Amino acid sequence: MKRIIQETEDGSKTIFIEDLNETYHSKHGAVQEAFHVFINNGLKYFESDNDLIRIIEIGLGTGLNAFITLLEAEKLQKPIEYVGIEKYPVLDEEFQLINFFDDVFKFYPEFEDRKKEFIEFYHQLFYSQWSSWKTISPYFKIKKVEEDFFNIQKIGEQNFDLVYFDAFGSRVQPELWEKELLEIVDSVMNEKCIFTTYAAKGSIKRGLKDLSYNVNKFPGPPGKREMMVGFKNIDL
């Protein structure tokens, strides 16, 4: 599939899949979307919890969500283990053309003096060996897995507290937004967990409710009216 680097409205870049007419991130702003969906409506619910947080991402892509989560781990001094699943890894030459840093650090002015260090962390994250744990900082370690999402039970990781569901949209991959995959993802989650996604699709809401999640709609990132978060055995 042909992939093209495009600039989004907040100045950050994303990858456009020409064959699918689909981008890896929102055209309205890659960094804004990542921060809004996965930090403000996902990780923030664990801010008061000092225990280890285990996150699984469905659709690692460029590693942007993982990088922002690393910054949050450093900011909060909270240990995070992160597993990113990706069926079609981003190529080195594509990664070299994507520069999120100016836009990312707008959200983290307290890290201005550590920008070089964190940019190096992002490179370590992206170039870390597949299928092996890599400790990036005292608060963040990652395991990248090249695998079909329907096979995540085979990777040997479970007991996740939070899932970032960042698969391609249902227009191009409808099978990723149905109950079968939701059941597979839920099977590797803890009894108490959170599911967050940029989408507000009815099949996701129904599937999560069938799996005993309390599903809430929240305002979406720029360009989207709504998004959804599912809470399982968690009192808000």
- For 54-98, the pLDDT digits (tens) are 999 999 988 999 999 999 999 999 999 999 999 989 888 778 777
> 13: which 2 tokens?
């870049």
Q: What is the pLDDT of residue 223?
A: 79
Q: What is the pLDDT of residue 161?
A: 98
Q: Give CA–CA dist 206/60, Å, rounded.
A: 25
Distances (CA, A) of 16 to 20, 86, 213: 9, 16, 33
Overall average pLDDT of the 170-193 stretch: 91
Whether the predicted pLDDT of 33 surpasses 70: yes
Overall average pLDDT of the 216-229 stretch: 91
- Which SS3 state, helix, strand or coil, does residue 173 take? coil
Q: What is the pLDDT of residue 98?
A: 75
Task: Please state, rounded to an integer, the average pLDDT across all residues of the chain.
Answer: 89
Point out the least confidently predicted range of 23-37, 157-171, 211-225: 23-37
Residue type, 14: T
Distances (CA, A) of 78 to 95, 168, 189, 212: 27, 29, 20, 28
Overall average pLDDT of the 126-142 stretch: 97
